Amino acid sequence: MTTVIQSLDTIREVIIAALRAHGADADNAAAVARTLVAAEADGCQTHGLFRVAGYCRSMASGKVNGAAKPSVTRLGPGAVRVNGDGGWSSLPLEASYDPLAEAAAETGVAAAAIVNMFHYAALWPEVEAMARRGYVALACTAYKPVVAPFGGNMPFYGTDPLAFAWPRGPHGSDTDPVVFDFATSAIARGEVQVAMRDGHQMAPGTGLDKNGNPTTDPAEILDGMMLPFGGYKGSLIMMMVELLCSSLIGEQFSFEAGETDVEDGGPARGGEFLLAIDPTRFAGDGWAEHGERFFARLGAIDGVHIPGDRRYQNRRQTPVDGCSVPLALWAEVEALAGHG
């Protein structure tokens, strides 16, 4: 595959131009660009430039409000709601961080309900942001119905990502938080698409055909449904994610999003549940050192990696080396930006 090397600044400029050309105002374009550039910087190509076309199509179809002005409401001492005004998730999420941190500092634990928005990004930015403020963070969101519950034979759950971050020290500490962020489906939809393109079979237990029969054929899975990670236990985690980011906070379940989405190639409207816990409140001052003893032992086990470390390594290196971008993708984003 032919690739080109681009600087993060150049990537940011073309993303902003593409989003602006398809209806985003300056604030939303800048916020989405921060999300996408962060993904490229961390080496998460699936959540960077690759998504620009979906962002553009979803504004062009009239589904997503590119000029959204999110509003923040304090629902209680430990409860924050951010109404995304029908726009992208980046701006309302950024608007939630400080109010959520303030609430968690006052109470010990607080949650933000981010609703009426479209999430087309990874979840690690929000949990990392809260962990850098000194809070243990958990986040989840739903999607559209593409995963069958364990034992079932029809798509009902989304890919339903779940993310968690642990701060390596109190606010002001410069150590990178430990972060994980994964789809609670057995596989990501992109992995199935890549397997189909490359003529590979999927692993057994990852998907069903449209009649609910097990298959390893990626085309049949795309036409059918994926399965939860981890069998019945993973399926229960998916149920929990659906409840936390839908009826708990007053937003759509994946099955409801499947009924309302216009299928323009972008995400469906949804909600996000973002929890922040103050470890100092619960454990006192020794919590960070205690956590470090755990990670020292965990990281010393042969074959075990501390989650997030590879992304942080990429983050230090990409400003120096630039990002390697497939030429066809770069041409697509340039065209969306009206360049050349």
Q: Are 152 and 212 in contact (CB under 8 A)?
A: yes
Residue 17 touching its own copies (CB under 8 A): no
List Cβ neighbours of 307 (8 Å cut-off, separation of 6 or more): 178, 179, 180
Residue 1 touching its own copies (CB under 8 A): no
Residue 89 or 246 having the CB closest to its own copies: 246
Residue 240 touching its own copies (CB under 8 A): yes
Choose, by CB under 8 A, the member of 24, 227, 275, 325 that binds its own copies.
275
In 3D space, the residue among 150, 175, 176, 146 whose CA is nearest the CA of residue 160 turns out to be: 146
From 11-19, 61-69, 248-256, 323-331, span contacting its own copies (CB under 8 A): 248-256
Residue 239 touching its own copies (CB under 8 A): yes
Question: What is the spatial distance between Cα 152 and Cα 164, in angstroms, rounded to a whole number?
Answer: 28
Residue 108 touching its own copies (CB under 8 A): yes
Residue 314 touching its own copies (CB under 8 A): no
Distances (CA, A) of 267 to 55, 57, 89, 262, 309: 9, 10, 11, 10, 28
- The pattern of x and - marking residues 42 through 81 that bind its own copies according to CB under 8 A reads ---------------------------------xxxxx-x
Question: What is the spatial distance between Cα 4 and Cα 323, in angstroms, rounded to a whole number?
Answer: 8
Residue 24 or 179 having the CB closest to its own copies: 179
Residue 283 touching its own copies (CB under 8 A): yes
Residue 54 or 205 having the CB closest to its own copies: 205
Shortest approach of its own copies to residue 59 CB, angstroms? 28
DSSP for 145-162 reads S-BPPTT--S--B----E
Beta bridge partners of 276: 110, 137
Residue 97 touching its own copies (CB under 8 A): no
Query: According to DSSP H, which parts of 76-204 are helical?
Result: 90-107, 124-132, 189-198
Residue 290 touching its own copies (CB under 8 A): yes
Residue 305 touching its own copies (CB under 8 A): yes
**Beta strand spans in the chain (E):** 3-6, 71-76, 79-88, 109-118, 136-141, 162-166, 178-182, 207-208, 225-226, 269-277, 323-326
Question: What is the spatial distance between Cα 223 and Cα 294, in angstroms, rounded to a whole number?
Answer: 44
Choose, by CB under 8 A, the member of 150, 210, 312, 332 that binds its own copies.
150
Note the residue count of the chain.
Answer: 340
* Positions in 249-268 near its own copies (CB under 8 A): 249-250, 253, 255
Residue 97 or 229 having the CB closest to its own copies: 229
In 3D space, the residue among 55, 80, 57, 62 whose CA is nearest the CA of residue 70 turns out to be: 80
From 2-10, 52-60, 290-298, 316-324, span contacting its own copies (CB under 8 A): 290-298
Residue 279 touching its own copies (CB under 8 A): yes
What is the total count of residues that contact its own copies (CB under 8 A)?
72
Residue 307 touching its own copies (CB under 8 A): yes
In 3D space, the residue among 249, 42, 12 whose CA is nearest the CA of residue 128 turns out to be: 42
Question: What is the spatial distance between Cα 286 and Cα 13, in angstroms, rounded to a whole number?
Answer: 44
Residue 151 touching its own copies (CB under 8 A): yes
* Positions in 199-238 near its own copies (CB under 8 A): 212, 229-231, 233-234, 236-237
Residue 111 touching its own copies (CB under 8 A): yes
